[in-house]
């Protein structure tokens, strides 16, 4: 059985590097808007999980910025090791009540924008091990006021990343995002989609390298395309009606994350930091 520890460390280091690059770019956008907003970083340690072992190994850093362009953006990294709660282990790929041990490392980002013409966005990538090892992640765009140009550009960037790493990746992972980022009780999608992949398993070291390269490409695609969209829209004028539409769509975003999102549940069930887990929630929302 492969010892994934050094591979987990490599993935963790990449996620931290990607976090630093993204945060620097977002702070540069704030400077362009005449703002001195910067990320505040708060470290946290994993808490014990009810039903599991003490498992107080690992933690992460919550990065949060509230500025002129980014009304609220969180960029979190984490790396944790321990046992899953017995009533939750069976829901995780390769884990069970008899074999609840896991490790997980990843980056998670959600940005809620001040200007409703600028799309909100979500991105995360992660590497997990149980009795299996796999990568997952993706990104999706959530514009209150959609622009076909922005949607096409966002998808094109991720299609290029997918096409370079596997035939059929883009069609498969775009369809998975359309299925996953859907709010059944509203009968609407959360946004205009993107890509979503999970359980990209690593049967051996060669598979790990290939899947890691793809996961890195996903992160680079996000870093390439989203700042361009922000800069394109952040100076546009907007009306009170535009702002109201943004706040209503934020309500739907909150509903999805609290009711359906797997990442939220995983964080809560594995002793994650509550503030880091719920950083995805918008700073303000309305319900009709």
For the chain, list the domains and their CATH numbers.
5-280 (3.40.1500.10)
What torsion do the CA atoms of 249, 250, 251, 252 make, to the nearest 10 degrees?
60
User: Annotated active-site positions, please?
Assistant: 122
| Sign, CA torsion 136/192/188/26 | positive
Question: Per-residue confidence at 52, pLDDT binned at 50, 70, 90?
Answer: very low
Average pLDDT over every residue of 137-164: 98
Average pLDDT over every residue of 177-191: 96
pLDDT score for 95: 78
If you count them, how many residues does the chain have?
288
Which tops the pLDDT comparison, 273 or 182? 182
pLDDT score for 168: 95
pLDDT tens, position by position, 248-267? 999 999 999 999 998 898 88
pLDDT score for 83: 84
pLDDT tens, position by position, 213-223? 999 999 999 99
pLDDT score for 142: 98
pLDDT score for 47: 65
DSSP codes of every residue in the chain: ----HHHHHHHHHHHHHHHHHHHHHHHHHHHHTT-----EEEEEEPPP-TTS----EEEEEEEEE--SSEEEEEEEEEEEEEE--HHHHTTSTT--SSS-EEEEEEEEEEEEESSTTSPEEEEEEEEEESSSEEEEEEEEEE-SS--HHHHHHHHHHHHHHHHTT-TTHHHHHHHHHHHHSEETTTTEESSSEEEEEEEEE-SSHHHHHHHHHHHHHHHHHHHHHHHHHHHHHTT----HHHHHHHHHHHHHHHHHHHHT-HHHHHHHHTT--HHHHGGGS-SS----
């Amino acid at each position: 059985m492969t010892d994934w520890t050094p591979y987990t460390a490599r993935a963790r280091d990449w996620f931290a590097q990607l976090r630093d690059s993204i945060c620097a770019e977002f702070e540069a956008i704030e400077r362009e808007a005449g703002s001195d907003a910067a990320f505040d970083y708060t470290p946290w340690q994993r808490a014990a999980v009810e039903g599991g072992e003490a498992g107080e190994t690992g933690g992460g850093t919550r990065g949060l910025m509230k500025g002129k362009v980014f009304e609220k953006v969180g960029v979190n990294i984490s790396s944790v090791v321990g046992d899953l709660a017995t009533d939750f282990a069976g829901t995780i790929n390769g884990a069970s009540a008899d074999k609840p041990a896991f490790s997980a490392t990843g980056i998670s980002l959600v940005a809620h924008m001040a200007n409703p013409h600028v799309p909100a966005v979500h991105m995360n990538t992660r590497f997990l091990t149980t009795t299996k090892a796999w990568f997952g992640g993706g990104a999706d765009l959530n514009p209150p006021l959609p622009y076909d140009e922005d949607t096409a550009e966002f998808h094109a960037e991720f299609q290029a990343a997918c096409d370079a790493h596997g035939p059929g990746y883009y069609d498969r992972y775009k369809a998975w995002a359309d299925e996953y980022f859907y709010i059944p009780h509203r009968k609407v999608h959360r946004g205009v989609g993107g890509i979503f992949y999970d359980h990209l398993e690593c049967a051996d070291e060669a598979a790990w390298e290939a899947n890691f390269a793809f996961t890195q490409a996903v992160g680079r695609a996000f870093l390439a395309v989203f700042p361009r969209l922000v800069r394109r829209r952040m100076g546009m004028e907007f009306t009170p009606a535009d702002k109201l539409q943004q706040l209503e769509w934020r309500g739907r975003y909150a509903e999805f994350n609290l009711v359906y999102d797997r990442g939220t549940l995983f964080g809560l069930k594995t002793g994650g930091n509550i503030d880091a887990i719920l950083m995805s929630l918008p700073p303000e929302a309305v319900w009709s």
